[in-house]
Amino acid sequence: MTTGTFDVNKVRQDFPLLNQQVNGNPLVYLDNGATSQKPQSVIDAIVSYYTTTNSNVHRGVHTMSQQATDHYEGARTKIRRFINAGEDHEIIFTRNTTEGINLVAHSYARQNVGPGDDIIVSNMEHHSNIVPWQMVCEEKGANLKVVPIDDNGELLMDEYEKLLSPRTKLVSITHVSNALGTILPAAEIVRLAHAQGAPVLLDGAQAVPHMPVDMQALDCDFYAFSGHKLFGPTGIGVLYGKTKYLEAMPPFLGGGEMIKSVTFEKTIYNDLPYKFEGGTPDIAGAIGLGAAVDYVTNLGFDQITAHEEELLRYGTEALNAIDGVQLVGTAPHKAGILSFVMDKAHPHDIGTILDEQGIAIRTGHHCAQPVMQRFQIPATARASLAFYNTKEDIDALVKGIDRVIEVFS
Ligand code: 7TS
């Protein structure tokens, strides 16, 4: 299948893992919301780092250490450009989205939220954008306010506006829902919060693999994402923060790298971004993520988005046409996520029967139990797309679902 000049079969050749059999069938990988596969260029960048450059960063005068530092810092610059942040030092390397959100909870919210204050989240957050705020609220006597959603899985913006007040100390909302696929009106969410003087963290874990994100256009104050969902390695993530907030925030982890000088009387913290990067970082991970960003940039989001939109349309029509299958998450503005339930089969059984046919999806609550409660279901089966998926993958999914119906009839 070719969309414009986008040749998906050629793209697939860059992803060695996709070309294998699982349970005697060609692998159909539809679990990109959980983690994405890696192009050869990312694998090569990591292998090359370990075979030629491996050294610790920011501390050696020797040549290899300087090269490692250049590559690590080069990756930071690539990521800054990728999300159109203003400054390299606004890019903090973390382990993943979860760590980025916890960093903000620890170093921003715990300093700025007091008794009777509010933190606002939505009804469709991943647990990693709920639990850290619950912990802060419990500790500080603050309230966690939840913006409700409608039956399509869209945020109720008028309810959001009603929740905002001078007591709002932080809004932390997902950019794209992992369980439903909804793309939220992030810039508008930020604008309304700022009008009340509240900063906004956007959870970009499910957004960055699918669409261009622009820190200047969004004007959010923090943005967190994971490398592994963006075709990079596990163990590396990014927290973007505006300089004015990061400067004022105390460190998250104390130790090496994050200091300028230490005596037993007084420690002077390092400048940004190192203040937030205590300990030896995931150097290879950052370099791998830099290569992933290069890969995605070379493909281009025009092509990626067009291809994924076409797949989503095709998949939505195909699933809607099957009797006994119901999509959960039907917002008009969606990323490539097809969450569904079936009349007769439990999601876990759906996942198991699909796996027998080499089709990888995720089943369960997707670490978003409150959204399951909102739809009064315990779980869904979720096919989540990436740019390397094809209409044939969707056809295989449909055939797999037909098999589930056969087994349960
Ligand atoms: N936020 C969202 C919106 C997510 O989808 C996820 C992971 C996270 C945060 C946490 O990311 P991590 O890299 O720190 O673990 N979501 C999923 C998923 O949907 N299936 O597996 C992981």
Q: Exactly one of 230, 325, 367, 401 is catalytic; which is it?
A: 367
CB-CB contact of 230 with 224 (8 Å): no
Domain assignment present for 1: no
Q: Which of 389, 309, 299 is nearest to 37 (CA)?
A: 389
Rounded to whole angstroms, how far apart are CA atoms 192 and 171? 10
- Note whether 366 and 231 are same-domain residues: no
**261 and 126 in one domain?**
yes
Q: Are residues 259 and 315 in the same domain?
A: no
Same domain, 17 and 110: no
* 246 touches 229 (CB < 8 A): no
Q: Are residues 284 and 309 in the same domain?
A: no
Does the CB atom of residue 206 touch ligand 1 within 6 A? yes
Domain for residue 235, yes or no? yes
Asked which of 270, 297, 324 is the last residue of a domain, the reply is 297
How far is ligand 1, taken at its centre, from the CA of residue 251, in Å?
Answer: 24
**Does some domain include residue 2?**
no
Q: 62 C-alpha to center of ligand 1: Å?
A: 38
Read off the pLDDT of residues 126-183 as tens digits, 9 standing for 90 and up: 999 999 999 999 999 999 999 999 999 999 999 999 999 999 999 999 999 999 999 9
37 Cβ below 6 A of ligand 1: no
In 150-248, which residue ranges form alpha helices assigned H by DSSP? 157-163, 186-195, 215-218, 243-248
Decide: 64 and 214 in contact? Cβ < 8 Å: no
Of 282, 297, 312, the one marking the end of a domain is 297
Assess whether the C-beta atom of 32 lies below 6 angstroms from ligand 1.
no
| Claim to verify: residue 395 and residue 333 sit in the same structural domain | yes
CA pair distance 99, 238, nearest whole angstrom: 9
Q: How many CA atoms lie within 13 A of 53 on its CB side?
A: 18
| Dist CA 167 CA 332 (whole Å) | 32
* SS3 category, 325: strand
Q: Is the link from the previous residue into 273 a cis peptide, with omega within 30 of 0?
A: yes
**How confident is the model at residue 27, as a pLDDT?**
98
Domain span holding position 317: 8-30+300-408
User: Is 36 inside a domain boundary?
Assistant: no
| 37 is a domain residue | no
Tell me, yes or no, whether 244 and 327 share the same domain. Answer: no
Pocket test for ligand 1, best of 173, 182, 229 (most atoms within 8 A of CB): 229
* Residues 320, 260 share a domain: no
In a domain, 207, yes or no: yes
- Based on the residue annotation, tell me whether 220 is a catalytic residue of this protein: no
Half-sphere exposure of 154 (CA within 13 A, CB side): 10
Integer Cα distance of 24 and 112 in angstroms: 55
Q: How far apart are CA 137 and CA 143, in angstroms?
A: 6
Q: Give pLDDT, residue 1.
A: 52
Q: Tell me, in angstroms, the distance from the centre of ligand 1 to residue 126's CA.
A: 7
- Whether 38 is covered by a domain: the verdict is no
Residue 35 inside a domain? The answer is no
Q: How many domains does the chain have?
A: 2
pLDDT in tens, 249-308: 999 999 999 999 999 999 999 999 999 999 999 999 999 999 999 999 999 999 999 999
Cα 40–chain centre separation: 21
> For position 5, what pLDDT does the model report?
77
Helix or strand run (H / E) with residue 10: helix 8-12
CATH number at residue 90: 3.40.640.10
Q: Mind listing the pLDDT tens digit of every residue in the chain (409 residues)? A: 554 579 999 999 999 999 999 999 999 999 999 999 999 999 999 999 999 999 999 878 899 999 999 999 999 999 999 999 999 999 999 999 999 999 999 999 999 999 999 999 999 999 999 999 999 999 999 999 999 999 999 999 999 999 999 999 999 999 999 999 999 999 999 999 999 999 999 999 999 999 999 999 999 999 999 999 999 999 999 999 999 999 999 999 999 999 999 999 999 999 999 999 999 999 999 999 999 999 999 999 999 999 999 999 999 999 999 999 999 999 999 999 999 999 999 999 999 999 999 999 999 999 999 999 999 999 999 999 999 999 999 999 999 999 999 999 8
Ligand 1 center–CA 231 separation, angstroms = 14
CA nearest to 349, candidates 378, 317, 375, 381: 381
Q: Checking phi first, is residue 257 left (phi over 0); if not, alpha (psi -120 to 50) or beta?
A: left
CB distance 209 to 229 below 8 Å? yes
The reported pLDDT for the residue numbered 349 is 97
DSSP letters spanning 342-354: ESSS-HHHHHHHH
168: which strand partners?
A: 118
User: Within this chain, do residues 319 and 292 fall inside the same structural domain, yes or no?
Assistant: no
What's the pLDDT score for residue 76? 98
CA distance 230 to 38: 9
Sheet containing strand 362-364, strands side by side: 325-327, 337-342, 380-384, 362-364
**Cα–Cα distance between 168 and 109 in angstroms, integer?**
11
Q: Are residues 292 and 376 in the same domain?
A: no
Among protein residues, the one whose CA lies closest to atom 21 of ligand 1: 34
- How distant, in Å, are the alpha carbons of 301, 314, 317, 325, 404 from that of 321? 30, 11, 6, 8, 15
DSSP 264: S
Same domain assignment for residues 250 and 175? yes
Q: Is the pTM of this model over 0.95?
A: yes
CATH of the domain at 17: 3.90.1150.10
Select from 297, 330, 353 the last residue of a domain: 297
* Same domain, yes or no: 119 and 190: yes
Q: Is the dihedral of CA 140, 114, 155, 85 positive or negative?
A: negative
